[in-house]
Structure 1
């Protein structure tokens, strides 16, 4: 700042923080997703909105962003942080379980949609190399929007995640392919791709080996210092370092971010890292969405309204139908296939990257690129609306019963069981045996369909999202039982329930004593570690087989269980005190 002049960076910061602090809460009040809010802010303050008037009205310079490229590094950082947090929610075991979907469903989805779009564009007069580049670009779906909407735990989220992971893997090979198709392409392109692939594989292998040994020590040092600043610095060091490592060898930086998240997910510090990164991820993603809004020129849209609408609808319908049919062929329910297909229908932020590569390679003309950039921006803008449409249509076509909370609105107090897997069913059976009214909730429609056929009072819904639990009568609920085997989700849900209902008994399933400690810190009334219970059952069986009387055995088992529970609760209380400063950033 000099001589009364405000630097563009300062005015950009004012606009972004104003959007995050004023506009977004306003949208939240009217139950409108912040995604649309950020895009509309970008449209309003960008070069095609109020930015057009800065020469006539000078003060608008301070509340507009006339050069969207200044925000590109921050927008890219937002997508990197998103992939990092996705990695934190996954694990290598879970990723291995998804391999069939990633390399089967993901590959088929990208190649079939890309080929169909390329064939259609070629028929419309586009030269085949440009048609191929555009077709592949438009086949991508938005990681930045789809996963925050769908999550990674539901059937829709798992299907979307597998396709998006394959798309992220294919970004680099596709960009190399477009470069090779360029009129001036040298013969070295193929060799360059091979070099990138072997160097990328080497970097990923080194990261995975070194990360398993180095990361626990790094975060242990940060945790011992009891400094939230140091913990944040360590987290950002890991994600930026991993992203730079993959970018240096020609791979996408988001691959490095995902691997960094997966490595930290294997440590005991992943919950703390996720909480401390969350606010930065949200703000950086907001910047990305503002840049999307800035790319929408309403005058160009109005001048070409008919053509643009046909292009948007054509892309959306083709992608939704192909994705839905592929999911059905791979065994997904009709509702899941329909909802996922509609959610994945819009183009992606990656579409813009691939399109830029095709333009640079002179495969498509700048005017053609601008047209499809507008189509992509519109598609991104309406993604939240597609999500709502997909959920509604999915419920209509699914044979599983739709969400029906009226049947439990009779005023009777009911225990709420969240999760109807192996553990949830056993809990439900015991409640029934002792005449305790309950209702079970699960986000897997297959599970709900089967459970209701077997007579369980079960309702389809995602307990982590929306107000589903309140609709089930939380004011009369005697207890909530969490049975899901999802480490992070269980803690988030316990924290949410405890905040909303301070006196509610919350009984949660834990993997082990470490997870139980985390659940107690989040607010669980009782956390039951599976490893402890299996040990106690084994001890009981051994003692009975050795001839010890059943009464004393059961009494000693109860005594040992209480002793362990008190020890875990005590550890949770001790750990909670020094971490208060760090944990305060989780909100």
Structure 2
């Protein structure tokens, strides 16, 4: 017990020191975990015989992660990814496998060993890559989705790889490995007695059981547990689902991660999806961190120093080979700019399932122990440099210009130019055009332009902040410019340029928050609309109507607030200082207090006109507004 507590303290202490330092240095949490593992393992030598068991336990974090990813994907979304799963993912696995096998044979390895190496190095690290994509908010980008599709294909490919590896061993070694496996696992012993068709049926039955249980068992079980109204029971139920499915998959020789992913997809449209996510997420985060620490702690530098140039050469060769294959596939599938660099550099490492395959290859007598130790070290080192590859990708992405199609040629000019046709701009355009006026719509989202044309609205592709595109759209003749782009900085640039070009042009701009209002006011916009402001006022009016005020009184108070707040924002814009934090702008704080007092007085006067004793809402005018309160 004491040894366990000591080890737990050690790992947690290393975690809370290394990870915050790495994230503050913008290196990512994954590199922090790996550095923590390096410190307590190879550097300080504080780990012992518990590492193997701990690593197997920590791998359960990968299982939980894929379950959570499955919860985010409905079956229709998964079906929509079929082209990337089969095409992009299948080609990546096949081409990398063949290339690594060819190189290994060229360096004197027999076919069985070379093919096993090809399988191992065709895989990438699901754990590190998905964790990094989520941290950098890249999962929903085209490059992120393509990367995820390949990782999912690789996880699926582990199943046939585990089935093929025993066939690569010599007959005598294969029989010995089979006998050892049966001795350690009674279920494996039973499965081994089945004919080939029986094993296939058992595997399909396990998958079908997961699907059916997700549909018909989990929901009533959750409803039953919900009746206790105990949060810990929800957590226990979520863990039971994940652990039970992983156990079932292990028994029939399938990947536990793949099984839980499938269960997550089945439960993606369940009413308990968010409860499952909330219950599993903390365990996933801790286990993933522990997994990365064990990877760092498991690096055997004795093997490295015995042949440093050979190991370094293999690591560089594997990463370079995978980069070449991935880059070729990115070009083949027409990925562009940042997406191409993300896909190419993000998947260039070996993966955690490589540890599983190496261990299995050793048990099947395919790899000798000395070769296995080198391969394990290569896998760990390639995973260790993955965060550095993502840093390189970020640097490249900041310099790469997106390879976008050429802007459309604008063949007509209208008195109203609408820059931005997202959710905000579409409503503006519909109201204006249905009122009988014609507009020129501009946006740099080609898919949105094409979608709008499908519904009969003509728009033009291009960056609305570019002077030549504005000139072609007729900025010199237009009466109104509506700047409602999703990118707030782009809106500010557009308003600034348009005002300098046309002092007489009426400019209506969409603001993200109150600070953005001040920026647009300085830039010269005539009318500035905070995107959430009107809807917030409506919600506030509904609240007043449901706490005792009549519809008329609530509407009157809404009008008073609107007029005074609008005047207050315009007045505060005069004292707002760009680049100075609001809490350090003393004049701004004093003016805010003054205006809040005036607003309080106006509301109190309106309540006094009701002729009853209902107290007006209290506003603390002595407390300066925080930055959060300025946001709508």
- Report the TM-score, using the length of structure 1 for normalisation: 0.67
Q: 1:108 to 1:223 in 2, by over 3 A?
A: same
Partner of 2:150: 163
Partner of 2:387: 384
Cα drift, residue 235 of structure 1:
0.9
Contact 1:43 1:294 in 2 (8 A): yes
Partner of 2:6: 11
Partner of 1:356: 359
Partner of 1:100: 83
Which of 129, 132, 140 aligns to 1:153? It is 140
Q: Distance in 2 between matches of 1:281 and 1:524?
A: 40
Q: 1:282 to 1:211 in 2, by over 3 A?
A: same
Residue-pair matches, total:
446
Pairing 1:462-501 to 2, within 5 Å after superposition: 478-479=511-512
Partner of 2:308: 305
Q: 1:221 to 1:172 in 2, by over 3 A?
A: same
- Report the TM-score, using the length of structure 2 for normalisation: 0.63
Q: 1:33 to 1:416 in 2, by over 3 A?
A: farther
Pairing 1:290-329 to 2, within 5 Å after superposition: 290-329=293-332
SS in 2 for 1:141: coil
Structure with max Cα Rg: 2
Unaligned 5+ segments in structure 1 are 52-60, 402-414, 459-467, 481-503, 509-519, 527-587
Pairing 1:48-87 to 2, within 5 Å after superposition: 48-51=42-45, 64-87=47-70
- 1:460-480 per-position Cα deviation (integer Å, ceiling 9, x unaligned): xxxxxxxx9897799x98447
Q: 1:195 to 1:83 in 2, by over 3 A?
A: farther
Cα drift, residue 127 of structure 1:
0.9
Cα drift, residue 424 of structure 1:
6.3
Contact 2:33 2:289 in 1 (8 A): yes
Pairing 1:523-534 to 2, within 5 Å after superposition: none
Tell me how large the CA RMSD over aligned residues is.
4.0
Cα drift, residue 371 of structure 1:
1.2
Contact 2:442 2:463 in 1 (8 A): no
Q: Distance in 2 between matches of 1:454 and 1:131?
A: 50
- 1:163-194 per-position Cα deviation (integer Å, ceiling 9, x unaligned): 11111112121122111111123599897665
Cα drift, residue 21 of structure 1:
3.1
Cα drift, residue 258 of structure 1:
0.6
Q: 1:524 to 1:444 in 2, by over 3 A?
A: farther
Q: Distance in 1 between matches of 2:449 and 2:305?
A: 45
Q: Distance in 2 between matches of 1:340 and 1:190?
A: 44
1:27 lines up with 2:42 in the alignment: no
Contact 2:37 2:297 in 1 (8 A): yes
Contact 1:324 1:337 in 2 (8 A): yes
- 1:117-137 per-position Cα deviation (integer Å, ceiling 9, x unaligned): 011011101111001101110
Which of 359, 367, 372 aligns to 2:370? It is 367
Partner of 2:249: 246
Contact 2:444 2:461 in 1 (8 A): no
- 1:345-401 per-position Cα deviation (integer Å, ceiling 9, x unaligned): 100001111122222222222111111211111111111221222343356455447
Q: Distance in 2 between matches of 1:443 and 1:290?
A: 43
Q: Distance in 2 between matches of 1:367 and 1:446?
A: 59
Q: Distance in 2 between matches of 1:525 and 1:65?
A: 63
Unaligned 5+ segments in structure 2 are 179-190, 405-417, 454-458, 467-485, 493-508, 514-529, 540-632
Contact 1:343 1:383 in 2 (8 A): yes
Contact 2:28 2:132 in 1 (8 A): no
Cα drift, residue 263 of structure 1:
2.3
Q: Distance in 1 between matches of 2:537 and 2:297?
A: 45
Partner of 1:204: 207
Partner of 1:55: none
Q: Distance in 1 between matches of 2:382 and 2:532?
A: 42
Partner of 1:574: none
SS in 2 for 1:265: coil
More displaced stretch, 262-271 vs 74-83: 262-271
1:453 lines up with 2:461 in the alignment: yes
Cα drift, residue 203 of structure 1:
1.6
Contact 2:326 2:343 in 1 (8 A): yes
Q: 1:168 to 1:196 in 2, by over 3 A?
A: farther
Q: 1:360 to 1:340 in 2, by over 3 A?
A: same
Q: 1:50 to 1:346 in 2, by over 3 A?
A: same
- 1:285-335 per-position Cα deviation (integer Å, ceiling 9, x unaligned): 011101110122334334433222221121111111212212322333354
